[in-house]
Structure 1
Amino acid sequence: MILYHTEPDSPVIEISVAGKITDHDLREAIERMRGDLELNGKTRVLERIEHFTGIEPKALWTDITLGVSVARKVTRAAVVADAGWIRASTHLARFFTKAEVKAFHVNELEQARVWINT
């Protein structure tokens, strides 16, 4: 499941991921992000990932073919996750985006929000 949230006139997008990511959910999030990028230009993303159980193979392909081009337009990303392997893998983002990326534990959500807005 992917929940997508923005505030009017804010360049920050908050995305919450829980459970399994479906292709349908991912496509919807990518399209909304494209719209926000067109509206706001430079965009920052705070992604909360909790209780992640996987991603559909089709969604993985969608992420590679559609999501990477959108990710390249993000200027800063905070990844807030409960799983250590997710936080540790954020260094791989450098292959897909030029954004500054920083990982946070779920109990550091407020620090992530401060960082994403600075």
Structure 2
Amino acid sequence: MILYHTDPDSPVVEIFVEGKITDRDLREAIERMRADLELNGKTRVLERIEHVTGIEPKALWTDLTLGVSLARKITRAAVVADAGWIHASMHLARFFTKAEVKAFHVNELDQARAWINA
């Protein structure tokens, strides 16, 4: 499941990922972000990733073919996660975006929000 949230007066998009990531959910989130970037210039992302149980293979391809081009338009990204492998993989982000990326643990959500809004 992917939940996508943005406030009209904020440059921050919040994305909550939990359970199994489906291609449909990912495509919907990508399209919403694309629209936000085009209309509002929103360029900061706070992504909470908790209790992920898997990702559909088709969603991986969608992320590579559609998501990477959007990642290049993001200026700052905070990733809040409960899994150590997600934190460890943050160094790979530099290959997909020029954004400043920082990882936080789930108990640091307030710090992540403060950082993304700074």
Shorter-chain TM-score above 0.5? yes
Paired position in structure 1 for 2:80: 80
Matching of residues 1-118 of structure 1 within 5 Å: 1-118=1-118
In structure 2, C-alpha distance between the alignment counterparts of 1:38 and 1:90, rounded to whole Å: 26
TM-superposed CA distance for 1:54, in Å, is 1.3
In structure 1, C-alpha distance between the alignment counterparts of 2:74 and 2:35, rounded to whole Å: 13
The CA RMSD over aligned residues, in Å, is: 0.7
**TM-score, length basis structure 2:** 0.98
In structure 2, C-alpha distance between the alignment counterparts of 1:113 and 1:66, rounded to whole Å: 26
Name the % identity: 87
TM-superposed CA distance for 1:39, in Å, is 1.8
Tell me, yes or no, if the aligned pair for 1:42 and 1:73 is still in contact at 8 Å.
no
Segments of structure 1 that go 5 or more residues without pairing to the other structure are none
AA paired with 1:27? R
| Local SS of the residue matching 1:115 | helix
1:42-90, CA deviations, whole angstroms, 9 ceiling, x for partnerless residues? 5100000000111100000000000000111000000000001101111
**TM-score, length basis structure 1:** 0.98
Segments of structure 2 that go 5 or more residues without pairing to the other structure are none
